[in-house]
Structure 1
Amino acid sequence: MVFSGPWPHDLRLDPFRDAVWELSRDGRVEAFMTTEVSRMRGLPFFWVKHEWLWYQVNWLDGRRDHSNEDYGPEWYLVAELEPGRFEYDDGLVFDAKPVEGPHRIDLWERYGPP
């Protein structure tokens, strides 16, 4: 447990730091997911340092889901996205891939956290 000193940096989370993921089905893009890794102090003691993952699904029709969170050490969303899949709440399964370059920057500005 990290109480003092530098914040932990989970290398597994690096692909999810200020990232945009393309969500598609049958080759058709339906949404973009934004992910961000932040720092927090939490259980079992408030002074223990952790990282947590924030994510939000942003639909092409303009709808934006409420943001969600993922916590380690399990990192359920990370485990789901690493092989390139994302299962939405209603059982829809999407192919997921990170967006890179200038397109990621444009999408992050549009869909990233306020």
Structure 2
Amino acid sequence: MAGDKSHDQYEKIDEMVDEMGKEMRRAGYLPSTSEVLLDIDEEDKEDALNRHSEKLAIAFALLKTLPGTPIRIVKNLRVCNDCHSATKFISKVYKQEIIVRDRSRFHHFMDGGVLV
């Protein structure tokens, strides 16, 4: 769940999310802070985006699975545009196949692109 800190490995997951953010930025990713409707500064908006549930799930999967293992995530809400873009970058940077099932469709990412 977005922003959840109750997991016993939260610190490791949080560190991985930060590492993913740095690696994505090196690859050209820019967060889409326009989607954050809260009245907070840009840095806090970026932090809020980094703690979306799918990014937490991807960080956990990267920590707990062997490299090259496809990552599958299921969520009951729509994937936001920022998470869609970020997942493309994560698939490229970490050379991972990532499949996200949201409330209406599957999103399949590989090598920085979306597979249909």
Q: Which has the larger radius of gyration?
A: 1
TM-score, normalised with respect to structure 1: 0.29
TM-score, normalised with respect to structure 2: 0.28
Structure with greater helix percent: 2
